[in-house]
Every structure is written in structure tokens, then in C-alpha cells.
Amino acid sequence: MDELTTYLRQPGFERLWCAAADKYRRQGRVGGRVQLMGLSDEEMDALSGLLAVNLVGRTEVAIRLTKVDEALRNSRFRVGLEEVLGRLFPGLRTREEQLAEASANWAAFHVWAKEGIHRQAVLDWIDRLSKGDAPGARTYMECYRAYESTGRCDDWRHAMRALEAALQPHDVWRLPVFAAEVTGDPHGLDRNTLAGKVFYWGLVALAADVDASGHAWASAEPPAAAPTSESVDDPDFTDTASDAASDAPSESMRAVYMKAGIRLDDVSSIVWVGNWAGWFEVPVAIPLMALDRHVKEVPRADAVYVVENPSVFAELLERLPCGVPVVCTSGQPSVAALRLLDMAFAAGSTIYYSGDFDVKGLQMALSLRARYGRAFAAWHMDADTYRWASHDKQPELSEREVQMLNTLHVDWDDELIPAMTRIRKKVFQEQILSRLLGDF
């Protein structure tokens, strides 16, 4: 370390140089003043020597940076403040220089992102991404950050190859099979990976372009359902870097993939059914694949009883009369569960639903209410049952949960939300089992 550096790195100067560097970054020049408070003895000695002023007994001081520059130039080292800051803070740049560099890097990434892409629809989407005006803009930023630090982003390249392959004529492939073919890794396009997120948002954007132009995708099989605006704001797959994708894709998400001839997992999505006269009298788990391909309709039943929890489902099957159809969603209704209930609705059944008395339980009930309208009936999800089942040993609803409850509109019982926000207890489905059984 040379003599100048040794002099500059005295502990008494540290805060001065840091404050000067910050001021220089913001102003782009040597100017203005910095305020130092709570001066130590070391700082008073160092600053007094540099500026040729007596700071003994001072606890704070305002220093003009031009005075610091002048003092350095008049010292035996004959250097200016700008040179000193460059020596102490290698790579120090003004805000204007940083913005110019960031702009150049962003433009370079945009050019790089389009390399090797031939489909005009994909190129147009990338142009819109660079302006922040397309589905997946935040995911694009995540790719940029990877490119900025390493000069490349393999996930982007994998996703672009997949998009171009999806636009070619092909049979319907399941996502892992398609990913293995395109990226070499069956998990290369999983929805919780960066490549998977880019690929998904590309499909969303291209599906919208296809719908607007009236052209068809190149897949050999039509989609199960048309993508909706829900696709872009899908809560199961939010366009954020930190948000992990749900393991249970929504119907709209499946439709986006299916439009491009790519099928998501249709085996893990299941629904439990039992006691259904003329169909499944013993409990069975029916996968989405079976419902999509083999089950076109369900036997007519006046009422189908739907429960949230497997333990309640099992108790009902053991104790209900024969022929009373019972369905279990095992929490949030899967696509398989919705597909089955759609068939029951189409057959003229009333959907009786019972869940937990908490935020999620009511949200699920309201979702089914919106889907099936007058064919939906809340099954003992009312204020009277809630008051009857609540007791001191049950867990409390948090303040946040109470706030969320107050945003819900339960149109089948105006007293339910006020009762829950007053009593503030979570009541579980298992605790109202006797009332459910009492109906039979």
C-alpha cells in the first residue's frame, strides 16, 4: 500500500470519504457539502489536519467538498477529490453513468433474447416484454438479472426452444415428455422453474395473439377449454420471481397449455367418490384422466354431498344410508373434483357443500356457489351451526383472518360472518359431523 493510500485510509477519514462518494454519485461532480455528526477524537484530528482548521470540542461539522478538493490539491500528494474517490471506491460511477450503463445492458439483453428466434409472434412478444407491456414482464426481468450477472440465461434459451417447438405441428404431449424432448430434462419446464415460468407466460401471450388473429395453434388436439383472462392473473402461478407455483394448476392454466397441445399431469389430480348408486358404491379416487377420457356423465342423483375433509368423508360413507352420493375434495377442489361436480350439475343434481368455518373453507364454498349458482346449497355452513359448535378450546381466528372474513359476502346466511368475527373461533368440519349425519 503506497503512502497516499495509507494516508487516505486513516479511520478518521472513513465517514468523510463515504459521504463524499455518495454525494458524487448523486450529483455527478465534486460539489455541495456533507454533514458529519458525533465526531470522534480520531475524526477531529484527521479532519483538522486536512482542512487546517481547529475542530477540537466540535461534535458535528458541515464540510464543503470543494474545500476538501482544494485541501487535497494543496497537500504534498497533489491530488483532487475525484481522484481520491476513484482510488478508494474502484468502479465509482455517477447516477447518470449508472443509468446509461443500465440502459445499454438492457438493450443488449433485448438483442440477445431474440437471437435464434424465427417466429414473428415470439419476436413480437419479446418486444412487448422489453416495454413491460406483456404477460410475463416480471419473469423477463428475472431473466435479465441472470443475464446481467453472467452474460447468459440458459432458462430463457430453454423456454424459447420450447415455444418454437410448441408452434410446430405435433401430437399432444405431456409436459415432462415435451420438456425431455426439447430441453433434455423432464423437469426442465416445470412450472416452478424460471424456464417453466417463461414458457408458460409465452403460451399465455401467444394464446391471446392467436385468439385475436383467429389462427389456430399447430397442435393436433383442440384445447379442453378456452383460455380466459384468469390465465394471466392466475393465483396458482403468479408472475413473480419469489412466488412458487402451486402443485394444483387451475383450469385456466391447463387450458393455456392444452391450447398448445401440451397436457399437464392428469393423474395426480383426483377426487374421492363413494356411495353413489349405479356408479361407485365403494370409495374410489378418480383421476382427471378418467374423467376427461372415459366418464362422459354421472348417474342422476337429486343431491350430491361434498365435503372438504377426508376424515369426514370416511365417517359419512360408514354411516349414511346406501345411495347417498358423497364426494371429497380433500381441501381446495382439484380440477378433477370440479370436472366431476360439473357432470353432477349437468345431470340436475343439487350440490350440497360442507367445509371448515375459516377463511379458506368459506372461500371454497363461495367459489362453488359462484360456479353452480342456484344448484349450490351450503350444508350446515350457517351461523346457527357455527354458534352451536364453537367453544373455548378451539383455535382463535387471527386479526388478519377476521379482516379477510369481513371482505367476504356469504349470501346464504347474512348472520354467519358477524357471528364468526364476534366469536373468533375456527370450527372444523369434524366438529359438526353429528349435524351432518342428523339430516339422514
The pLDDT tens digits of the residues spanning 26-45 come to 888 899 999 999 999 999 99
Beta strands 303-307 and 326-328 are parallel
Q: Left, alpha or beta for 181 (phi > 0: left; psi -120 to 50: alpha)?
A: alpha
The CATH number assigned to the domain with range 270-438 reads 3.40.1360.10
pLDDT band at 232 (very low <50, low <70, confident <90, very high): very low
What does the alpha-carbon distance between residue 47 and residue 16 come to, in Å, rounded to a whole number? 9
246, pLDDT greater than 50? no
pLDDT band at 1 (very low <50, low <70, confident <90, very high): low
The pLDDT tens digits of the residues spanning 267-322 come to 989 999 999 998 998 999 999 999 988 998 999 999 999 999 999 999 999 999 99
**189 DSSP 8-state letter:** T
pLDDT band at 2 (very low <50, low <70, confident <90, very high): confident
- Average of pLDDT values for 139-156? 94
Position 211 scores a pLDDT of 53
Higher pLDDT among residues 231 and 189, named by residue: 189
Alpha helices in 222-328 (DSSP H): 251-259, 288-293, 310-319
Q: Which residues touch 167 (CB under 8 Å, ≥6 apart)?
A: 119, 121, 122, 206, 217, 218, 260
Distance, CA of 268 to chain centre: 22
- Tell me phi and psi for residue 35, to 5 degrees: -110, 125
70, pLDDT greater than 70? yes
Higher pLDDT among residues 101 and 246, named by residue: 101
**430 DSSP 8-state letter:** G
- Average of pLDDT values for 358-377? 96
What does the alpha-carbon distance between residue 366 and residue 369 come to, in Å, rounded to a whole number? 5
Alpha helices in 131-260 (DSSP H): 137-150, 154-166, 175-183, 194-213, 251-259
What does the alpha-carbon distance between residue 30 and residue 20 come to, in Å, rounded to a whole number? 8
Q: Is 407 exposed, middle or buried (0-12, 13-18, 19+ CB in 10 A)?
A: exposed
Q: Is the dihedral of CA 176, 177, 180, 181 positive or negative?
A: negative
Q: Which residues touch 171 (CB under 8 Å, ≥6 apart)?
A: 219, 220, 221, 261
What does the alpha-carbon distance between residue 350 and residue 301 come to, in Å, rounded to a whole number? 8
Q: Pick from 211, 233, 232, 220: which is nearest to 261 by CA? A: 220
Q: Left, alpha or beta for 359 (phi > 0: left; psi -120 to 50: alpha)?
A: alpha
51, pLDDT greater than 60? yes
Output the nine-digit C-alpha cell for 233: 392473473
What does the alpha-carbon distance between residue 409 and residue 135 come to, in Å, rounded to a whole number? 31
Q: Which residues touch 301 (CB under 8 Å, ≥6 apart)?
A: 276, 277, 325, 344, 347, 349
Output the nine-digit C-alpha cell for 22: 455518495
pLDDT band at 244 (very low <50, low <70, confident <90, very high): very low
What does the alpha-carbon distance between residue 19 and residue 68 come to, in Å, rounded to a whole number? 12
Domains in the chain: boundaries? 3-92, 103-263, 270-438
